Amino acid sequence: MDGNGKKNTNRPVRVEDVARVAGVSPITVSRALSYPEKVKEDTRRKVAEAVAQTGYVVNSFASSLRSGRSSVVAVFSSNVRNPHFANVLLGCTEVLEDNGYQLLTARVGESAEEQRRLIASMTPFRPAAMLFTDLLKPELDRSIISSAGIPVVEMWDQRMDPIDMLVTMWEADAGRTMGRHFAERGFSRIAYAGLLFDRGRRRLEGFRAALKEVGRDCELVLSLTEGWQPDAGAAAFDEVLDRLPGCDAILFGSDILAAGALSAARRRKVNVPTDIAIAGFGDIPVAAHLDPPLTSLGVPSLEMGRKAGQMLLGKLRGREITERIVSFPAVLHARDSTAR
């Protein structure tokens, strides 16, 4: 920074440079940026003009390391292709950013070791809170998170002993809802295709339990390794028809898979739902506009994200959270793809 307040491109602008241009002390600049309500209006104006003139950018991480007070909420997710992740992030952002917090998103790996390594690398930055939008691996040493002593919200997990707080949807209950729908529609030769990790497995268990109540079962289960590609759904549809002749209904683990199956049905000139019914999970916006409109279980991910943000904000403000586990129900949207 030269004497005229212009940037020296050889180094970043510092608080001292802003203070020199504003004619105040560096500590006054820091106070004006961090606690503007404690600084006179005329001083705030001078500092704001100096910031604009110098191009100074506040380094939130550096500030938190110096003061121990962070405005960053670390968000961890292992599957950024999941459309519900975006809704959770949006809902949480609406709550937290309006109250002075910023979300920093990191993609965490699928293994416990990858999860541990990334969480450990984030801890030195002293985030104000942590949000996990995917399941933590059961074998992960959860003490590396709880020892940070900050608010933590886990999402989607099915266990009753969260590290701190949990926002979820009980997958077995969601599966039962769709199982009852299939039973009411009179389907008899039923298949399931989807990921069978913890949540998918529990959803399938609930689905089968509801079918067994009326003397039916899911005769074929395809365990897929890909849940967010239409091609995987199309391939699964072909495999179901080859392995289960006379199949009259398939539940897919995601709407994306179901959309691929609808495409495969058209290719094979199989009528949906006259010849075979197809349902999905998630009720993404396009589900109601497919041909035919897709029956799906709605996931209130936006509302879940808002609730997670509210719980974190309450903890950050020192409020006692009386309800540490909050569950949202899945909502059945019965459409033409399972009509009879």
How confident is the model at residue 65, as a pLDDT?
44
Asked whether residue 81 falls in the same domain as residue 154, the answer is: yes
Structural contact between residues 74 and 67, judged by C-beta atoms closer than 8 angstroms? no
Same domain membership, residue 186 and residue 278: yes
List pLDDT tens digits, range 60-79.
Answer: 555 544 445 578 899 988 77
> Would residue 307 count as lying in a domain?
yes
Rounded CA separation 278/272 (Å): 7
Distance CA 21, CA 41 (A): 17
Paired tokens of 158: 């099915």
- 30 lies in the same domain as 130: no
Could you report the per-residue pLDDT of 128-177, keeping only the tens digit for each?
A: 999 998 888 888 888 888 888 899 999 999 989 999 999 999 999 999 99
Do residues 179 and 280 share a domain? yes
Regarding whether 288 and 312 lie in a shared domain, the answer is no
Q: What is the 3 state secondary structure string of the chain?
A: CCCCCCCCCCCCCCHHHHHHHHCCCHHHHHHHHHCHHHCCHHHHHHHHHHHHHHCCCCCHHHHHHHHCCCCEEEEEECCCCCHHHHHHHHHHHHHHHHHCCEEEEEECCCCHHHHHHHHHHHHHHCCCEEEECCCCCCCCCCHHHHCCCCCEEEECCCCCCCCCEEEECCHHHHHHHHHHHHHHCCCCCEEEEECCCHHHHHHHHHHHHHHHCCCCCEEEEEECCCCCCHHHHHHHHHHHHHHCCCCCEEEECCHHHHHHHHHHHHHCCCCCCCCCEEEEEECCHHHHHCCCCCEEEECCHHHHHHHHHHHHHHHHCCCCCCCCEEECCCEEECCHHHCC
251-293: pLDDT as tens digits: 999 999 999 999 999 999 999 999 999 999 999 999 999 999 9
For 196-215, what is the mean pLDDT? 95
Question: Does 340 reside within a domain?
Answer: no
The residue ranking higher by pLDDT, 288 or 110, is 288
Q: Does 43 lie in the same domain as 75?
A: no
In a domain, 249, yes or no: yes
Same domain, 38 and 88: no
| Domain that includes residue 231, residue range | 171-298
In this structure, is residue 130 part of a structural domain?
Answer: yes
With the C-alpha atoms ordered 308, 310, 311, 313, is the resulting torsion angle positive or negative?
positive
- Report CA torsion sign: 42, 44, 48, 54: positive
Question: Is 134 inside any structural domain?
Answer: yes
Among 33, 120, 102, smallest CA distance to 316 is for 102
pLDDT recorded at residue 141: 86
Per the CB < 8 A criterion, the answer to whether 108 and 77 are in contact is yes
* Residues 77, 187 within the same domain: no
- Residues 151 and 50 placed together within one structural domain of the fold: no
- Cα distances from 70 to residues 45, 83, 129, 200, in angstroms, run 24, 29, 9, 36
pLDDT-derived band at 314 (thresholds 50, 70, 90) equals very high
Shared domain for 112 and 224, answered yes or no, is no
For the chain, give the number of residues.
340
Residues with Cβ within 8 Å of residue 28, at least 6 apart in sequence: 19, 22, 39, 43, 47
What is the rounded average pLDDT for all residues in the chain? 89
- Are 120 and 42 in the same domain? no
Kindly state whether residue 10 falls inside one of the protein's structural domains: no
The CATH number given to whatever domain includes residue 119 is 3.40.50.2300
Q: Is residue 48 part of a domain?
A: yes
Confidence (pTM): 0.79
Does 178 share its domain with 207? yes
Decide if pLDDT at 95 tops 60. Answer: yes
Counting the structural domains of the chain, the total is: 3
Q: Is residue 290 part of a domain?
A: yes
φ/ψ bin of 207: left (φ > 0), alpha (ψ from -120 to 50), beta (otherwise): alpha
